[in-house]
Each structure stands twice: as structure tokens, then as C-alpha cells.
Amino acid sequence: MARQVGFIGLGKMGEPMAARLLAAGYALVVHDVRPESVAGLVAKGARAAASPAAVAAAVDTVLLSLPDPAVVRQVTLGPDGVIAGSKVKAVLDLSTTGASMAREIAAALAAKGIVGVDSPVSGGVAGAVKGTLAVMVACPKPLFADLEPMLKHIGKVFFIGERPGMGQTMKLANNFLSATALAATSEAIVFGVKAGLDPATMIDVINAGSGRNSASQDKFPRAILPRTFDFGFTTSLMYKDMKLCLEEAAAAGAPMAVATAVRELWRRTFEEIGGDQDFTTIVKLLERDAGVEVKRS
């Protein structure tokens, strides 16, 4: 009999991850606030549940993929949340919430005999579809050994440590570097275009030299130079991650001067370009400031 697991949050990241688990033979019980998202998974063989509590009453392992810490708290600890389920024993949060929230949720779940597994993922929508995400897991080592075979279906699994929050700290450090690469590369290309250089040539040179990074190798060729701005991650989510990173760094007593400057660029992008816009539109903020447009000739 296939192992039954629950999956809550069937958005751009959650739906392909859930679909991969279904394809791997897991029996899924799913929930999302959008009926159309649930219907898509049900058509593939999943079973729908009316609430997070109902999911947690049907299975012993529940995975979450949710947009922000407030939603994670409500879905996990709310009156009809996962914590109210009668069967659940482990809750895996694949979202980005920050270490403080991971610790808070883990403590509340532990009081009910449930293990909170801090397990954020990185790699974007393309990684979720292909099953190539980086999965950063913090939980007791024996539980990790039990969960790893399942998590391998969504990506490369890393054991970060046993304390709740360690996975979130790793994820925020990674996302800080990703946010910085995109912001800095956008600044560099806008500067070059303003000075008369061709942006496509600049990207080719950067990718052949020491400046290459995730933005120059992937985001610029795929979403910025062709002006599609459809990479699949919003400016609001990136700004949220940068704020969380600096909050956690301050709590840890780690100064982050570069992160502070990068957060300011993402704040402006969020407020002036729009939180619902793709995060590759950060280049539009810099284009407007410089009076140029970055596009393939």
C-alpha cells in the first residue's frame, strides 16, 4: 500500500512538488484555498480535504508550501490548522519563514506530540517541476532518515542539523546571495547599456569571466533580455526574504552591510514596480533611474 502523505499549498511551487510525489507513487491528501488548484491534483489521483485539520486527521506526515510566515502560522497553529489533526506526527514546512518562526511553530507542535520539520527549498518553479530543488532539512536524525527517500523525489536533500530554524537560516543565506546576484547584475548591465554597450554581449562576456552568477547565467537570458519577466518568483517574496534575512542576522548579532543595501533596492522595486511583478523586473527600476532599456538587439 502506498504511503499516504498530506500536502497543503498548491501554488507555483507546491503544485509541481505535490505532482512529483503523486508520480512517485505516494497517496496524497491535499488542501488549498483555491478550488481550482485542488481540482488539478485530484484529477491526477490525489484526495481533497476540506481544511488543514482534515489533512492532518487523515495522514501522519504533512508537507506545507505556503507564501509567508503569517500564513504558515495560521495553517499550522490556527483553530482549524494542522495542529488540530488527530493523526499527524510530523509537519514539514517547505516555505521560507525565518528561524524564529520555525522555532515557534516547532515548540507549539511539540506540545501536542508532533515534530516540526524545518525544511525550506530553493531552486524556483523550474526546480520544482524538474525535481532538482535544494531541500534543506533540520530535524532529529532518525526522522531525517525516514523522510529522505520521499524528499529525494523533489530535489537534492541536505541534512542541515537537528535544531528547528537551522534550515531557515541556510535558506535565507542562500536567498540573500540570489537576491544580491540579481540586483548587482542588473546594476552592472544597466551601467554598461548607459555607457553604450550591448547587454547581450555583456552577458556573454560576464558568463565567460569571473563575474558569472545565477542571474547572468539564467535569469537574464531567460527573462530579462527577451523582456518576458516571467521567471516565476515575485518581488514581494524576494523583499520578504531579504527582510527576514536581516531580522535573523540582527537577532544573531551578525552585521550585514551588503544585505542592507540590497534590501533597499528590493524595497524600492516592491513599492515602485509592484509586489505582484516578477522579481526580474528589478531591472526596470534601475532602467528608469538611468533612462535606458536593457533588451536584446
Take residue 273 and report the three cell numbers written for it: 514596480
Domain assignment of residue 297, yes or no: no
- 2 has pLDDT over 80: no
d(CA 162, CA 267): 33
**Structure confidence at residue 198 (pLDDT):** 97
What is the domain count for the chain? 2
- Find the angle CA(85)-CA(71)-CA(251) to the nearest 5 degrees: 110
Question: Are 147 and 244 in a shared domain?
Answer: no
pLDDT band at 142 (very low <50, low <70, confident <90, very high): very high
Question: Are 32 and 93 in a shared domain?
Answer: yes
Q: What is the DSSP string of the chain?
A: -PPEEEEE--STTHHHHHHHHHHTT-EEEEE-SSHHHHHHHHTTT-EE-SSHHHHHHH-SEEEE--SSHHHHHHHHHSTTSGGG-SS--EEEE-S---HHHHHHHHHHHHTTT-EEEE--EESHHHHHHHT-EEEEEES-HHHHHHHHHHHTTTEEEEEEESSTTHHHHHHHHHHHHHHHHHHHHHHHHHHHHHTT--HHHHHHHHHHSTT--HIIIIIIIIIITTT---SS-BHHHHHHHHHHHHHHHHHHT---HHHHHHHHHHHHIIIII-TTSBGGGHHHHHHHHHT------
Q: How far lies 251's CA from each of 15, 99, 204, 245, 266, in Å? A: 33, 10, 40, 10, 21
- 52 has pLDDT over 70: yes
Q: Are the C-beta atoms of residues 6 and 56 closer than 8 Å to each other? A: yes
pLDDT band at 104 (very low <50, low <70, confident <90, very high): very high
pTM, to two decimals: 0.92
Question: Are 157 and 192 in a shared domain?
Answer: no
Question: How much is the average pLDDT of 105-121?
Answer: 97
The catalytic residue among 171, 219, 240, 284 is: 171
Q: Fill in the amino acid letter for 249.
A: A
Summarised one tens digit per residue, pLDDT across range 193-243 is 999 999 999 999 999 999 999 999 999 999 999 999 999 899 999 999 999
Question: Are 66 and 178 in a shared domain?
Answer: no
Take residue 72 and report the three cell numbers written for it: 504558515
Question: How much is the average pLDDT of 95-114?
Answer: 95
Least confident range of 21-25, 52-56, 292-296:
292-296
- 116 has pLDDT over 80: yes
CATH of the domain at 210: 1.10.1040.10
pLDDT band at 297 (very low <50, low <70, confident <90, very high): confident
Q: Are the C-beta atoms of residues 78 and 111 closer than 8 Å to each other? A: no
Question: Are 196 and 126 in a shared domain?
Answer: no
d(CA 205, CA 21): 40
Higher-confidence residue of 67 and 296: namely 67
Question: How much is the average pLDDT of 82-106?
Answer: 95
Domain assignment of residue 295, yes or no: no
- 262 has pLDDT over 80: yes
Question: Are 189 and 138 in a shared domain?
Answer: no
d(CA 134, CA 136): 6
Domain span including residue 126: 4-163
- 87 has pLDDT over 60: yes
- 1 has pLDDT over 60: no
Pairing relation of β-strands 133-138 and 121-122?
antiparallel
pLDDT band at 296 (very low <50, low <70, confident <90, very high): confident
- End of a domain among 163, 193, 222? 163
Question: Are 148 and 223 in a shared domain?
Answer: no
pLDDT band at 282 (very low <50, low <70, confident <90, very high): very high
Question: Are 68 and 116 in a shared domain?
Answer: yes
Question: Are 81 and 225 in a shared domain?
Answer: no
CATH of the domain at 103: 3.40.50.720
Mean pLDDT in the chain? 96
User: Could you tell me which residues are beta bridge partners of residue 8?
Assistant: 31, 64
- 189 has pLDDT over 80: yes
Question: Are 127 and 71 in a shared domain?
Answer: yes
Question: Are 41 and 120 in a shared domain?
Answer: yes
284 catalytically annotated: no
Q: Fill in the amino acid letter for 96.
A: T
